[in-house]
Every structure is written in structure tokens, then in C-alpha cells.
Amino acid sequence: MDRYAVIGNPIAHSKSPLIHRLFAEQTGQALSYEALLAPLDDFAGTLRGFLVAGRGVNVTVPFKEQAWALADAHTAAAERAGAVNTIAVQGDGTLLGDNTDGRGLARDLRFNSGVQLRGSRILLLGAGGASRGVIQPLLAARPDQLCIVNRTVEKAEQLAMMFNDLGPVSAAGLHWVEESVDLIINATSASLGGEVPAISPKLIRRGHTVCYDMMYASEPTPFNRWAAAHGAARCIDGLGMLVEQAAEAFELWRGVRPDTAPVLAALRQS
């Protein structure tokens, strides 16, 4: 039986083992999937130790950039993102690094949530690794505008310059923008600390703007509670993104794409 795992720190909360078990049952694939806690100072050792017998891994915070450095080759998505969340062992034993986060976000927005990306005005909060991994797929959907907003403006500007060959991307500080947009995506980790990025509520056009938090929890995230209080048309969490990016990884490993709808429904129900 082929072995797979997700590696992170912390990792006990991860839903990935359940997601991939449901994918395997649905597609008739014989595999095992586990969660591995890596020491903060020895991700490489944990990865190499597992891949002695394992066929692939998912990588979560805070190891995605280290995973990029350890991969022997990268997909175009991983190369652009500078981060890897999926590693597949190739036939010759080399490690292929991919980044499925952006594709997972785009699919969740378009197919699970029915959000129109083409021709839209999008605000992306944060200029860290989470943002970097999703910019390419967002621009591929051909929005009218994608503005990266960050407390440190220089970081947002650097990201915008890295991707400006792919579409209309710009940068701004948290307090620079007040004109309403169609979609706000929170790619910061503020919700983990019970906080909300310091942006203007004027960015939300009441009854129209959709707000999306990449984080998820059993209760609405702080960002989504803030958005709802200021009249957002819809508030969506990142659980669908988690399932969709996992499906992308599963397809890379197994050559078959699972149906994500029943798996997402099962997670919502639980």
C-alpha cells in the first residue's frame, strides 16, 4: 500500500488525513495517509525519513519554502510561488514539487461558491507565502484588477512586480484603498490570532462584495464576522480551498481526480 503524509508544525488539527481517506475510498485507491509533526529545525530530516518508503507528501506551515528548496524539480505553479505544498516521488526517485494552493482557491471560488472572477476587482490581503501561491491562478481568471494590500507596502510592491507580466496587478498599503471591490481575499494569518486586518469597511459594497478568508474553523472567522457586520453579500471560509487543493495533489499522485463535492459536504456536516 502506497504511503502519503502531510508534514507541518503544528499538525494535530489537520483535516488532510480524513480528506485523503475519503478520496481513496471514493476512487478505489489503495493508500495510507498520515499526519507528521516535524521539528521546526529539522523539516528536511522528517521529509527524507518518510520518503524512504513514502510516495508523496503535502507540506503545510511553516515549511513550504523549505520544501521548495528540497525539491529536485518544480511545476510552473511552484516555480512562480517560490513555495511547495505537494511533493511527488518520480519514477527515477527524484522529487517533484508543486503548489496546488492557488488552483484550489480558484476552483473553490468558481465551482463551489459560484464567484465570478473574470472582469472582477479583487483585493488580496497579505504579501506572504499564502498570497504568493494564489496570484497566478487569480490572474489567469482574467480579473479587471488584482490589488495586493499589505502593512509593509514594499513587500506588496515586490509581489506585484513578480507577477505583473501575467495581468493587471498592483500594490497598496492597508490604509491606501477605500473604493469598494467585488472580492476581498484574506490571505493573512490574522484570524488565527482573533484579529482582523486593518482595512477600511468602505471596501465592502453592501450586498455586493464577497469576502473570503483562507482560514477556516467551526465558527465564522474573525475576518468573516467583520465582513458580515459591514454588509458583505457572502462570507466564505477556506475549507473548500483545503479540499480542492488536496484533490489537485491527489490527482498528481494517483492520476485520478476525486469528486470534491461529497467530501466537502461531509466535512461541513461534521
Residue burial 29-54, b: 16+ Cβ < 10 Å; e: rest: bebebbbbebeeeebeebbeebbeeb
Q: Say how far apart CA 207 and CA 203 lie, in whole Å.
A: 12
Q: Is the link from the previous residue into 258 a cis peptide, with omega within 30 of 0?
A: no
Beta strands in 168-219 (DSSP E): 169-173, 183-186, 210-213
Q: Say how far apart CA 266 and CA 22 lie, in whole Å.
A: 9
| Closest among 119, 142, 235, 242 to 184, alpha carbons compared | 235
Give yes or no for a contact between 6 and 59, defined as CB atoms under 8 angstroms apart: yes
- The H or E element spanning position 2 is strand 2-8
Cβ count within 10 A of residue 189: 14
Within 8 A by CB and 6+ apart from 62, the residues are 8, 9, 40
3-state secondary structure string across 14-42:
CCHHHHHHHHHHHHCCCEEEEEEECCCCC
Q: Say how far apart CA 265 and CA 263 lie, in whole Å.
A: 5
Active site residue 64: yes
**So which residues are the catalytic ones?**
64
